[in-house]
Amino acid sequence: MIEFSKTTLKQNHLISLTTESIQGSGQKLKIEKFHKINSQKSVSCHEIFLPFATYFCHLLSSTNIYAVELVDLNTNVHVNTAMVVCHMDTSSWPADHPVFKKLNFSPGKGEVCHWMSQADLVWVGDDAHA
Confidence of residue 130 (pLDDT cuts 50, 70, 90): low
- Check whether 37 has a pLDDT greater than 90: yes
Give CA torsion, residues 123, 1, 91, 111, to 10 deg: -40
What global pTM score does this model have?
A: 0.87
What confidence tens digit (pLDDT) does each residue in 104-125 have?
999 999 999 999 999 999 999 9
Instruction: Give the count of beta carbons closer than 10 Å to the beta carbon of residue 128.
Output: 20
pLDDT of 129 over the 80 cut: no
Note whether 83 and 17 are within 8 A (CB): yes
Give the pLDDT confidence score for residue 60 in this predicted structure: 85
Which one, of 128, 118, 31, 116, lies nearest residue 79 by Cα? 31
